[in-house]
C-alpha cells in the first residue's frame, strides 16, 4: 500500500530532526518506535534466491554478522548525523578503532599517531600493529612539524583523537589532514570526546571517523558499541569486508538501544556541555585547584583551534588538584553525587583518576609527557542539576 504522507530527503534534515526520524524503516505493522529485529539469520523463499543473494546478484539480507535491519537503521542515522556516505557499526569503540586501522594496512606499511591516545588505542598502534609488520611512529599531536617529519613513503594512515583523553588537548584536524594527504596517506579521527554534534572531522578533511558509541551515543550506561564512518569508497575498500569476515558486529539489541538514544543525543550533549562549562568556571576559581582544562574556555592552551573546529566545549573537564594522588583520592572519595568510574558521556556525572586507571599501563615518563600527573582528575559532566554538582564538588574540596 502506498503511503499518502510525503517523505522528505533525510539529508536535508537538521541534526535534531535527523536524530529522531532519520533512517527509520517501518515494518508492515506501522510501529511508531523502530523495531528490534533480534534475529541471527533470514529465510529465502527458494534455493535460487539464496544462491542469488550469496552471489550478490540480488539485494537482501543473509546473516546478522553482515547486516541486520535494526543495525542498518542505526548505521544510516549515524551517517546522516555525521554527513558521511557510509557507516558500519561494531561491538565496541575498540572494535571500531582496531578495524579502522587494521582494515587499511598490510605488512611493510607505516602508521603515524598522536601520542595522546586512549590506553587501548595506544596498545593497537604501539604493540599490535608492529606484531604484524606494520611500523608505527608516535608524535606530539599539537606539533604540525612533528607530523610532517614522521611521514614516510610507506605511511598508509594516521590516527588521532581530539580533544584527547584525558587532558583535553585539541589537535588541528584540518592541518593534520593536509599533511597526511600530501604524504598520500589517510586520516582516522576518534571523535568520542567532541561527539558528532560538536565536531565534524570529515568536513575538516579526515577520511574516517570512529566512535565509542558506548559513550555519549548510548549516554545512559547500558550498552557497548562503536561506529566507523567515511565515504562509500573508504568503507567498502577497507572496512566492510574486514568486519564481515572477522565478526566484531554490533548486536541488534544494542543497536536498538543506541538508535533510541540518538533521539535525545542533541538535548543531552547541549545540557551536559552547558553544565561542564559552569563546573569548569567554578573549579577555576577554587584555591585548591591548580589548573583547569576545558576546550570551551579562553584559558585552554588550544582555545583558538577549539573555536575553529568545535561548536561547543564538550562534556568533560580535566583539572589538577593541589596535593597529588592523596588529595585527588580524598576529594573523589568525598563526592556523594558524582560517581567514581572510568566511563564518560553518561547521564550520571563520573570522575576518574587517569594515572591509576585509564592510563595506568603507560610508562611514568609517557604519562609525564602527556601531562597526566598524580593530581589530575577527569570529570564527565552528566545531566544532574548543575548546582547540585557544584555543591558536591565544593563540599568534597572543603
Ligand atoms: C577516546 C576513546 N576511544 C575509544 C574508546 C574505546 O571504546 P569502548 O570502551 O566502547 O571499546 C574509549 C573508551 O573506552 C575512549 O575514551
Q: Which is the closest atom of ligand 1 to the Cα of 225?
A: 10
Q: Is the shortest distance between the CB of 92 and ligand 1 below 6 Å?
A: yes
What is the CA(1)–ligand 1 centre distance, in A?
44
What is the CA(216)–ligand 1 centre distance, in A?
11
> Mean pLDDT throughout 17-34?
94
State which of 201, 215, 314, 378 you would mutate to test the pocket of ligand 1, scoring each by most atoms of that ligand within 8 A of its C-beta.
215
Q: Is the shortest distance between the CB of 380 and ligand 1 below 6 Å?
A: no
Q: Is the shortest distance between the CB of 118 and ligand 1 below 6 Å?
A: yes
Query: Atom 15, ligand 1: which residue's CA is nearest?
Result: 118
For residue 361, what pLDDT is reported?
A: 82
Q: Which is the closest atom of ligand 1 to the Cα of 213?
A: 10
The neighbouring-strand residues paired with 139 are: 114
Maximum CA extent, the chain: 75
Q: Is the shortest distance between the CB of 224 and ligand 1 below 6 Å?
A: yes
What is the band of 253 on the pLDDT scale with cuts at 50, 70, 90? very high
What is the CA(163)–ligand 1 centre distance, in A?
13
Grid cell, residue 233, equals 569508497
- Give the integer Cα–Cα distance in Å for 157 and 100: 10
Instruction: Specify the residue for cell string 538514544.
Output: 261
pLDDT at 1 over 50: no
State which of 118, 141, 189, 211 you would mutate to test the pocket of ligand 1, scoring each by most atoms of that ligand within 8 A of its C-beta.
118
Contact criterion met (CB below 8 Å) for 157 and 184: no
What is the CA(171)–ligand 1 centre distance, in A?
18
What is the CA(56)–ligand 1 centre distance, in A?
34
pLDDT at 58 over 50: yes
- Give the integer Cα–Cα distance in Å for 125 and 358: 16
Considering only 4-13, 67-76, 240-249, 377-386, which range has the smallest mean pLDDT?
4-13
What is the CA(213)–ligand 1 centre distance, in A?
8
For residue 362, what pLDDT is reported?
A: 85
- Give the integer Cα–Cα distance in Å for 250 and 270: 27
For residue 49, what pLDDT is reported?
A: 96
Q: Is the shortest distance between the CB of 192 and ligand 1 below 6 Å?
A: yes
DSSP 115: S
> Mean pLDDT throughout 105-112?
98
pLDDT at 271 over 70: yes
For residue 11, what pLDDT is reported?
A: 87
The 3-state DSSP class for residue 265 equals helix
pLDDT digit string, tens, across residues 139-193: 999 999 999 999 999 999 999 999 999 999 999 999 999 999 999 999 999 999 9
Query: Atom 2, ligand 1: which residue's CA is nearest?
Result: 118
What is the CA(279)–ligand 1 centre distance, in A?
24
What is the band of 3 on the pLDDT scale with cuts at 50, 70, 90? low
Query: Atom 8, ligand 1: which residue's CA is nearest?
Result: 93
Q: Which is the closest atom of ligand 1 to the Cα of 344?
A: 16
What is the CA(337)–ligand 1 centre distance, in A?
24
For residue 171, what pLDDT is reported?
A: 98
Grid cell, residue 231, equals 565515504
pLDDT digit string, tens, across residues 347-393: 999 999 999 998 888 889 989 999 999 999 999 999 999 999 999 99
The neighbouring-strand residues paired with 379 are: 317, 351
Query: Atom 13, ligand 1: which residue's CA is nearest?
Result: 212
Grid cell, residue 128, equals 599490535
- For the chain, give the mean pLDDT: 96
What is the CA(93)–ligand 1 centre distance, in A?
5
Percent of the chain with pLDDT over 90: 94
Q: Is the shortest distance between the CB of 94 and ligand 1 below 6 Å?
A: yes
pLDDT at 133 over 50: yes
pTM: 0.96
For residue 130, what pLDDT is reported?
A: 98
- Give the integer Cα–Cα distance in Å for 297 and 299: 5
For residue 2, what pLDDT is reported?
A: 46
Which residue, 179, 166, 103, is CA-closest to 139? 179
pLDDT at 97 over 70: yes
What is the CA(159)–ligand 1 centre distance, in A?
14
> Mean pLDDT throughout 333-355?
97
Q: Is the shortest distance between the CB of 226 and ligand 1 below 6 Å?
A: yes
State which of 100, 115, 119, 120 you would mutate to test the pocket of ligand 1, scoring each by most atoms of that ligand within 8 A of its C-beta.
120
DSSP 376: E
- Give the integer Cα–Cα distance in Å for 95 and 69: 20
pLDDT at 33 over 70: yes
pLDDT digit string, tens, across residues 117-132: 998 999 999 999 999 9
Amino acid at each position: 500500500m502506498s503511503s499518502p504522507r510525503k517523505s522528505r530527503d533525510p539529508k536535508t534534515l537538521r541534526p535534531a530532526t535527523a536524530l529522531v526520524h532519520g533512517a527509520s524503516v517501518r515494518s508492515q505493522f506501522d510501529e511508531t518506535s523502530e523495531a528490534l529485529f533480534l534475529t541471527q539469520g533470514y529465510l529465502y523463499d527458494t534455493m535460487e534466491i539464496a544462491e542469488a543473494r550469496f552471489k550478490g546478484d540480488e539485494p537482501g539480507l543473509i546473516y546478522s554478522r553482515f547486516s541486520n535491519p535494526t543495525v542498518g537503521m542505526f548505521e544510516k542515522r549515524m551517517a546522516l548525523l555525521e554527513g558521511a556516505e557510509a557507516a558500519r557499526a561494531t561491538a565496541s569503540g575498540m572494535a571500531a578503532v582496531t578495524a579502522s586501522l587494521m582494515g587499511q594496512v598490510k605488512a611493510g606499511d607505516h602508521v603515524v599517531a598522536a601520542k595522546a591516545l586512549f590506553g587501548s588505542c595506544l596498545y593497537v598502534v604501539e604493540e599490535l600493529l608492529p606484531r604484524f609488520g606494520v611500523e608505527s611512529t608516535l608524535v606530539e599531536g599539537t606539533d604540525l612539524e612533528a607530523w610532517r617529519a614522521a611521514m614516510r613513503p610507506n605511511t598508509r594512515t594516521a590516527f588521532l583523537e581530539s580533544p584527547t583523553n584525558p587532558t583535553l588537548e585539541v589537535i588541528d584536524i584540518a592541518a593534520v589532514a593536509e599533511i597526511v594527504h600530501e604524504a598520500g596517506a589517510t586520516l582516522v579521527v576518534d571523535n568520542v570526546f567532541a561527539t558528532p554534534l560538536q565536531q565534524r572531522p570529515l568536513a575538516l578533511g579526515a577520511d574516517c571517523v570512529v566512535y565509542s558509541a558506548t559513550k555519549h551515543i548510548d549516554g545512559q550506561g547500558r550498552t557497548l558499541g562503536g561506529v566507523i564512518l567515511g565515504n562509500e569508497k573508504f568503507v567498502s575498500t577497507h572496512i566492510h569486508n574486514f568486519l564481515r569476515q572477522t565478526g566484531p558486529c554490533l548486536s541488534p539489541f544494542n543497536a536498538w538501544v543506541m538508535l533510541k538514544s540518538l533521539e535525545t543525543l542533541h538535548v543531552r550533549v547541549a545540557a551536559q556541555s552547558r553544565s561542564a562549562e559552569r563546573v569548569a568556571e567554578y573549579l577555576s576559581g577554587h584555591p585548591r585547584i591548580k589548573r583547569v582544562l576545558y576546550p570551551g574556555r579562553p584559558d585552554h592552551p588550544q582555545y583558538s583551534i577549539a573555536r575553529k573546529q568545535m561548536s561547543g566545549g564538550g562534556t568533560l573537564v580535566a583539572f589538577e588538584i593541589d596535593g597529588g594522588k592523596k588529595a585527588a583520592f580524598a576529594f573523589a572519595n568525598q563526592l556523594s553525587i558524582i560517581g567514581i568510574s572510568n566511563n564518560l558521556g553518561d547521564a550520571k556525572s563520573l570522575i576518574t583518576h587517569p594515572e591509576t586507571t585509564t592510563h595506568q599501563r603507560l610508562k611514568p615518563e609517557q604519562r609525564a609527557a602527556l601531562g597526566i600527573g598524580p593530581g589530575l582528575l577527569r570529570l564527565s559532566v552528566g545531566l544532574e542539576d548543575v548546582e547540585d554538582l557544584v555543591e558536591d564538588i565544593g563540599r568534597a574540596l572543603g
